[in-house]
Chains A and B, each alone.
Chain A
């Protein structure tokens, strides 16, 4: 467990007007990032609001590894200053998130990494990233056969033979 360090404004010189945040990943890596970048995350914004209310700033502990965290920070810094409709807490949720080409390249990673990123994005409440990851996973399994899906998703066939061939499990409802 990393100890909770208190970050004083004066000890960390801010770049421009943006202040810095100290994020601590589950593998105990300390990552300093500008508050401006991470404002896309509702979770971080709420924390920052808390800091301002209590005027106490401390490190934010996150339950995922620095590898994943760096990936999320890369995403956030790419979209620094951009307005994305999904991330606007006041806007109505769009029916369908737009396809962004950069995201597709950015999320061209293996399945496990993708699952980790989507969980991190969910924890940090970055809706645009959750949407893009969900789309990437959906794209991976779209049009595949059951066998291929099992391989892609890394799940095992745990049906009994009767269950597997039963025509449907949804007779009621």
Chain B
């Protein structure tokens, strides 16, 4: 037993010391030892400080510790209220963009949209648009930068990590980038794009996810072994990586998760898997397989995964640090049962998976664990059927945005924001707020009569905002980020973005 000098300090002194620190230092303290982590976890005042930081509401290190607990709670309530009543912001300078559903990446309050040049639209220039939404509550101004890619190169893939100010772009045809660049964006000013000459990324690999210094890349083709690469040094690590993925992300620093869907091969049904990485993994090829609801397993025709970037390193600019506990994983999939097609969204907070993994470690004798849906999904996920006329919307942090059209006679567009953050949900439940949705139900019509209705019980906070007249139905694209939601009205035929607006906090 090592002597821990801090244990001898009276609690109120230790609290006094920690309250003088910025939330960024608290996060580092949180990782030093068990005693400090427990201490921070049990202190309301410090938890509020961390949460304010994760909301982007703690503006300066100098003022951080002067706020009493009541003031911290008040600020958190302001933040929650701002998301309930979003502000209509005028036009956002988002032009020059063609493409109805451009490739995008969201991180913190910044989003990157890709316009792929093409000879069909006679607009052969590829552009990278970096957009930060304004916020009154956080006193953040709007920033907008369009970077024109020289030549007729086409941009294919983009990953943004605003905590580090890094954009990774693949250039070339969509399926097969011929060049992958790491670009640095100065976050505070959004001065764009100093090249970091290829940043150690393999030229022809597609980058699937980024987490701190590491990124997940994979080549193309049937034997695409994914690689873990440190993009600053170029060193590569490969161990226990899956081959049969359709999309691949970091769950946290030591785990990756991926989805495998293959209707043809019976061994590869639709499921979500988590693989421990590197030396921490107790057995080679250890893996957790989280199966989807039974009615989906054999009938998935199309599926993709999406998640928010994992900002493990707090931003030096201090704007955003997304709390890893507040991370959402989203599965969007279509099923084909007999003659009908249905579309579903499965929202899984990342902590559902991490909690299960922490509680059930793999052993060398039993390296692969199959987790049935009932064991993880019923209480830890939310399955919803997508209404007919829906713009799927995106996710950011713990929030999902859905834009859909109310049926006649109103016919108006509605923006729904669902918040899955465990702490905010717990607080809303404790206060008896009416906006908490207690789970969702998919009726037997969608699941098929063999399986019966499917009920999931994960609570979330729902807020609805009506869209202004005329913004409904076809051609509305929406992207959510930490400051609000950006809408774009697209031309019904060419798909060109005609105009863009935002709802912000």
Contact = CB atoms under 8 A, between A and B. Distances in A.
A141 interface: yes
10 contacts: A95-B66, A134-B13, A134-B16, A138-B21, A141-B29, A142-B22, A146-B32, A156-B2, A162-B280, A167-B354
B4 A166 contact: no
Interface in A124-173: 130-131, 134-135, 137-138, 141-146, 149-150, 153-159, 161-173
A67 B37 CA distance: 32
A153 B32 contact: yes
A112 interface: yes
Contact of B10 (A119, A157, A159, A168): A119
B350 to A, nearest CB: 7
A155 B36 contact: yes
Interface residues of B, number: 52
Nearest to B427: A173
Contacts of B88: none
A100 interface: no
A173 B252 contact: no
B448 interface: no
Contacts of B361: 162
Given A95-B68, A134-B20, A138-B17, A115 B47 contact: no
A20 interface: no
A158 to B, nearest CB: 5
Contact of B16 (A131, A144, A157, A161): A131
B9 A167 contact: no
A118 interface: yes
Interface in A75-93: none
A42 to B, nearest CB: 15
Interface of A: 95-96, 111-112, 115, 118-119, 122, 130-131, 134-135, 137-138, 141-146, 149-150, 153-159, 161-173
Given A122-B10, A163-B34, A167-B325, A141 B4 contact: no
Contacts of A164: 31
Contacts of A142: 21-22, 25
Given A146-B28, A172-B423, A166 B5 contact: no
Interface string B28-44: 11111111111011000
B65 interface: yes
Contacts of B9: 115, 118-119
Which 6 residue pairs spanning A and B have beta carbons closest together?
A167-B324, A138-B20, A156-B2, A168-B325, A165-B254, A155-B33
Given A119-B8, A173-B41, A166 B21 contact: no
B422 A172 contact: yes
A141 B280 CA distance: 29
Contacts of A168: 323-325, 351
B5 A112 contact: yes
A173 B361 CA distance: 25
A141 B423 contact: no
A111 B324 CA distance: 33
Nearest to B36: A155
A37 to B, nearest CB: 23
A122 B36 contact: no
A54 B204 CA distance: 88
Given A138-B20, A171-B351, A171-B422, 9 more contacts: A144-B25, A144-B28, A146-B28, A157-B33, A159-B34, A164-B31, A166-B252, A168-B323, A172-B426
Contacts of B50: 170
A141 B21 contact: yes
A111 B47 contact: no
B290 to A, nearest CB: 17
A120 B18 CA distance: 19
A153 B6 contact: yes
Contacts of B327: 167
B355 A171 contact: yes
B28 A155 contact: no
B253 interface: yes
A144 B354 CA distance: 28
User: Chain B CB within 10 Å — which of A96, A115, A142, A155 has the most?
Assistant: A155
Contacts of B32: 146, 149-150, 153, 155, 157
A96 B253 contact: no
Contact of A156 (B33, B37, B350, B351): B33
A143 B25 CA distance: 6
Nearest to A94: B66
Interface in B276-319: 280, 310
B160 to A, nearest CB: 20
Contacts of A169: 30, 37-38, 41
Contacts of A171: 325, 351, 355, 422-423
B120 interface: no
B41 A149 contact: no
Contacts of B30: 169
B408 interface: no
B31 A115 contact: no
Nearest to A167: B324
Contacts of B66: 95-96
A137 B25 CA distance: 13
A154 to B, nearest CB: 5
Contacts of A150: 32-33
Query: Which of the listed residues A155, A161, A165, A167 has the most CB atoms from chain B within 10 Å of its own CB?
Result: A167
A166 to B, nearest CB: 6
Contacts of B47: 170, 173
B426 A149 contact: no
Contacts of A154: 3-5
Given A119-B10, A172-B423, A145 B34 contact: no
B197 interface: no
Contacts of A153: 5-6, 32
Given A155-B33, A162-B358, A115 B25 contact: no
Given A157-B32, A170-B50, A171-B325, A118 B13 contact: yes
